[in-house]
Amino acid sequence: MSLGRVLVVGGDGQLGVELRRRLASDSDEVLATTRSGRLADGGACEALDLAEAEAIAPLLQRLRPDHVVNAAAYTAVDRAESEPELAQAINAVAPGRLAQACAALGIGLIHFSTDYVFDGRGQRPYREDDATAPLNVYGRSKLDGERAVAASGARHLVLRTAWVYAANHGHNFLRTMLRLGGEREELRVVADQRGSPTPAWLLAEAVARILERGIAESGVRHLAAAGETTWHGFAEAIFAEAVARGLLARAPRVLPIAAAEYPTPAQRPAYSVLDTRRLREEYGLALPDWRDGLRVAMER
């Protein structure tokens, strides 16, 4: 069964690229937006600057997609501390307008949010109904976006995810580690923040399965790879895979440090593992362990 026409907002980001690739075989047409109206490969697409929210409704009225997946966001966590208005415009105002336009046209919306809506004081994986208390501007803007989507009346699914990366595109921890691993003999990586590294390919696969079944019930769901680790553990796994695949001649030493030794403008949660049971049960998803997700990402 074809998914019809799917609009991917943010088509040139690490998630947007994977979504376009995965949905191409199941859809009549995959439409995409970028701020410039061009894709990374030089191809043309729809131009949409989410900082200009008034442009959203006319675009949807013209394109009339069957589904919208919002993969665009302001994700510069530290820079958001000095650009709160821009983060709010892209992460909160724009998703609200997008959802309102979807509601008016009867279009289902999948929107991505973040584990950073939590304060990290939890002792077990966070469930969808656990109290939110973001520690930084980015997390607050994403939480406001969740609320704006929920208030729109659109048929929607907000997917909170965590520690997203892709091997071949985007600015992310995996690509940074591979670059630094080729340049340095020793790295210092934070070892007291825990989460679940989640590859963009897995998110795209889950979205395809959700769209095939249809949004069962509007609301927030958690979507991340299984298991948990620290940034230090993630780095060591990356280097082990890179050496095994011949991408690096040798693995650098990875020294564990506390987050306090690597101060950043934005405070981050110490623990942000997500409980994905509800989404898995509703859509029949099998989410791999984060190590298996990493292996597949690097094979690609």
Please confirm, yes or no, whether 138 is among the known catalytic residues: yes
Report d(CA 296, CA 199) in Å as an integer: 9
The answer to whether the CB of 298 falls within 8 A of the CB of 242 is: yes
Other beta carbons within 10 Å of 125: 18
What are φ and ψ of residue 80, in 5° steps?
Answer: -60, -25
* Cα of 31 vs its chain's centroid, Å: 19
Q: Which of 138, 165, 271, 283 is catalytic?
A: 138
Report d(CA 184, CA 291) in Å as an integer: 24
The answer to whether the CB of 225 falls within 8 A of the CB of 195 is: no
What are φ and ψ of residue 279, in 5° steps?
Answer: -65, -40
* Cα of 173 vs its chain's centroid, Å: 13
Among all residues, which ones are annotated catalytic?
138
